[in-house]
Amino acid sequence: MKFKNLGRSGLSVSRLCLGTMNFGPETSEQDSHAIMDSALSHGINFFDTANRYGGAGSWGLTEEIIGRWFSQGGGRREKVVLATKLYGEMDPWPNNRGVSALNIRRAVDASLKRLQTDYIDLYQMHHIDRNVPWEEVWQAMEILVAQGKILYVGSSNFGGWHLAQAHAAAATRNFLGLVSEQSIYNLVTRDIEREVIPAALHYGIGILPWSPLHGGLLGGVLAKDRDGKRRLEGRSQEAVEKIRPQIQAYEDYCAAKGIEPGDVALAWLLAQPAVSATIIGPRTQSQLDSALRALDVELSEKNLNDLDEIFPGYKTSPEDYAW
């Protein structure tokens, strides 16, 4: 396993982060525990979850599954860099959503109970909350750090200017502020290259891409359809048809290199300077095994340029749209 510091922090995380969103809704508890054991045995020390994961009507189930895995002992909790999130509504009662000081306090205590641990390594805001001033957010987070309930703070789905606002407000309090940002980022969806990545690099915030295969479109979807391994229909077919020529060119390129498309997609992300780790969300053990192969893929400068020709990215703003 390869490791990298999370942003400017001293926290060392595996380049692959185990996303757990499927644990519960798609993957049984027994299989989820087996996947976590396997991930740990391969050196993946970074696990990501959220208080809302578990499916409609079962918010918190995924954290509970992880908590029961931790309770088995064997150094599981000590070996894992644990990341979870808050923001989404846990029930319709007022103040049980967002990042108000009240909800931050309630949400972290509820997550700690479900996870059966006394601290969270990386506590992330799942979305920007425009109704809460940064002074309130950082005051609440500072208290949690002082109490030993969390160690680091991260964000998810923030804009570049949100990162700048957060950093400026934290700096006035001599607080570390954000060390990571989770964003959708892959060869197809590269919007964050305009402003989020430049801001992250400037402030030392590690990027944690989610949906690295763009819902499977970068995992050899056309070949699987031809071979009868995956049937394209509904929204999946619509998504493919929008960029079919690019996907075909991509799969042809990967085939010529003798590398699986999914491995190339993950390796491309790991080659991006701002990326600390990329989040994988396996439903099965075989999907975890497939993701691990990407660690052995080395992309040359020419490979990266070739992929940019197939899936053009963006320049840093304002050069992206101005001279």
**Range 242-250 contact pairs with CB under 8 angstroms and sequence separation of 24 or more:** 243/188, 243/217, 246/188, 246/310, 246/311, 247/217, 247/218, 247/221, 247/222, 248/222, 249/310, 250/187, 250/218, 250/307, 250/310, 250/311
Residue with tokens 């690295």: 212
Contact criterion met (CB below 8 Å) for 29 and 77: no
β-pairing, 46-48 vs 278-280, is unpaired
Task: For residue 59, give both structure tokens.
Answer: 């918010």
Q: Kindly give, in sequence order, each residue whose CB lies less than 8 Å from that of residue 185, ignoring residues fewer than 6 positions away.
A: 192, 207, 209, 210, 211, 212, 269, 272, 275
C-alpha to C-alpha distance for 146 and 143, rounded to whole angstroms: 5
Other CB atoms within 10 A of residue 211 CB: 19
H-run or E-run covering 104: helix 101-115
Query: Is 321 tagged catalytic?
Result: no
Spot the catalytic one: 53, 123, 203, 250.
53
- Of 277, 261, 308, nearest in space to 12 by CA: 277
Q: Kindly give, in sequence order, each residue whose CB lies less than 8 Å from that of residue 300, ignoring residues fewer than 6 positions away.
A: none
Bridge partners (DSSP) listed for residue 17: 279
C-alpha to C-alpha distance for 81 and 66, rounded to whole angstroms: 13
Task: For residue 40, give both structure tokens.
Answer: 């740990």
C-alpha to C-alpha distance for 200 and 234, rounded to whole angstroms: 36
* Active centre residues (catalytic): 53
